[in-house]
C-alpha cells in the first residue's frame, strides 16, 4: 500500500510506517482485497482526515470508532458522508445537538469536509472496515497506529479540544495531557445512547469558548 498522506503527518508518523505492525496492516488489507472482499473507504481516501487537516491546523479532535460499512458512505472522515449520501442516525443526532447548542441550521449535507478544513480532525480509531461488517478491522493493528496519532497531537500541540463521545472514545483520554488540552466527554450520538448525555452536552459552543480563550480562531460549524 503506497501511503498517500499529507507531508506534515508523513514526517510526524514516518517511523510508524516502517514498524512491523503497520506492515501487517498493509498485508492484511492486500490479502482481503485479493480474496475479493470490499473494504471501505476506498484506498485513495484512507488518510482523508490527515490530508484535509495537517497537524499544524488541528484545533479540535473528534474520535469515531470505525468507518461506515455501507456502500458509498465512508470517505475517511469520522461521522461524515460524501455529498448526496443521506446522513446516518449518529450524524443526524450530531446535527440536532449542533442546532440546539449554537443555532446553526440542521445541514442537508452530511459532508463534514468544511469542518476538517478548519482544523477539526475527524479520526476513526480503525481506518478501514469490511463491507457490511462493523468493527471487522478493529483488531488488525489500527488501534496502535491511531493511538500514536492521538499521542502525537497531545505531545506536539497545545490547547486542542478533544471531543470524546461514548465509552470507546473516552478510554483514549489516557493518551492526552489534560493540563494543556481540553477534554469534553459525553455519551455516543448513536440513537441507542444519544439521550443519555449527548443531546444537551453543548460541546460545540464549549469548544469554541475554550479556543477563543486561548487566542485561537473558533470553528464555524455551519456546513
The pLDDT tens digits for 37-49 are 999 999 999 999 9
Query: pLDDT by residue (tens digit) across 20-39?
Result: 999 999 999 999 999 999 99
- Alpha carbon distance 130, 135 (integer Å): 8
Query: pLDDT by residue (tens digit) across 60-101?
Result: 999 999 999 999 999 999 999 999 999 999 999 999 999 999
Phi, psi (degrees; rounded to nearest 5) at 124: -90, 140
Q: What is the pLDDT of residue 170?
A: 95
Query: pLDDT by residue (tens digit) across 104-122?
Result: 999 999 999 999 999 999 9
Confidence grade of residue 3 (pLDDT, cut at 50, 70, 90)? low
Angle at 157 between CA 216 and CA 177, to 5 degrees: 110
The one catalytic residue in 66, 101, 147, 220 is 66
Burial, 100: exposed, middle or buried (Cβ in 10 Å; 0-12, 13-18, 19+)?
middle
- pTM more than 0.85: yes
- Alpha carbon distance 29, 21 (integer Å): 13
Question: Which of 94, 50, 53, 49 has its CA nearest to residue 75?
Answer: 49
Q: What is the pLDDT of residue 4?
A: 75
- Reduced to 3 states, what is the DSSP secondary structure of residue 42? coil
Q: Judge whether 68 and 171 are in contact, CB under 8 Å.
A: no
Tell me the HSE value of 139 on the side-chain side, using a 13 A CA sphere: 1
Tell me which H or E stretch contains 39.
strand 39-40
Confidence grade of residue 11 (pLDDT, cut at 50, 70, 90)? very high
Q: What is the pLDDT of residue 153?
A: 98
The CA dihedral of 92, 121, 141, 4, to the nearest 10 degrees, is 110
Specify whether 101 is catalytic.
Answer: no
- Alpha carbon distance 96, 200 (integer Å): 10
Q: What is the pLDDT of residue 163?
A: 98
What mean pLDDT do residues 156-181 have? 97
Tell me which H or E stretch contains 114.
helix 113-117
Integer angstrom CA distances of residue 142 from 52, 145, 155, 198: 20, 5, 20, 26
Amino acid at each position: 500500500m503506497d501511503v498517500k498522506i499529507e507531508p506534515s503527518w508523513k514526517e510526524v508518523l514516518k517511523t510508524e510506517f516502517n514498524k512491523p505492525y503497520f506492515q501487517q496492516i498493509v498485508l492484511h488489507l492486500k490479502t482481503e482485497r485479493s480474496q475479493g472482499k470490499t473494504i471501505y473507504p476506498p484506498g485513495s481516501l484512507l488518510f482523508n482526515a490527515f490530508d484535509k487537516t495537517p497537524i499544524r491546523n488541528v484545533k479540535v479532535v473528534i474520535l469515531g470508532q470505525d468507518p461506515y460499512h455501507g456502500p458509498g458512505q465512508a470517505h475517511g472522515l469520522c461521522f461524515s458522508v460524501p455529498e448526496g449520501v443521506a446522513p446516518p442516525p449518529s450524524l443526524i443526532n450530531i446535527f440536532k445537538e449542533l442546532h440546539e447548542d449554537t443555532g446553526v441550521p440542521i445541514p442537508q449535507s452530511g459532508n463534514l469536509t468544511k469542518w476538517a478544513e478548519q482544523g477539526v480532525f475527524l479520526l476513526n480509531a480503525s481506518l478501514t472496515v469490511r463491507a457490511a461488517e462493523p468493527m471487522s478491522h478493529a483488531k488488525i493493528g489500527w488501534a496502535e497506529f491511531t493511538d500514536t496519532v492521538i499521542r502525537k497531537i497531545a505531545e506536539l500541540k497545545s490547547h486542542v479540544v478533544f471531543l470524546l463521545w461514548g465509552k470507546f472514545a473516552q478510554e483514549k483520554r489516557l493518551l492526552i495531557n489534560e493540563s494543556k488540552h481540553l477534554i469534553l466527554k459525553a455519551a455516543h450520538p448513536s440513537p441507542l445512547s444519544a439521550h443519555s448525555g449527548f443531546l444537551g452536552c453543548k460541546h460545540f459552543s464549549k469548544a469554541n469558548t475554550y479556543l477563543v480563550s486561548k487566542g485561537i480562531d473558533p470553528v464555524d460549524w455551519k456546513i
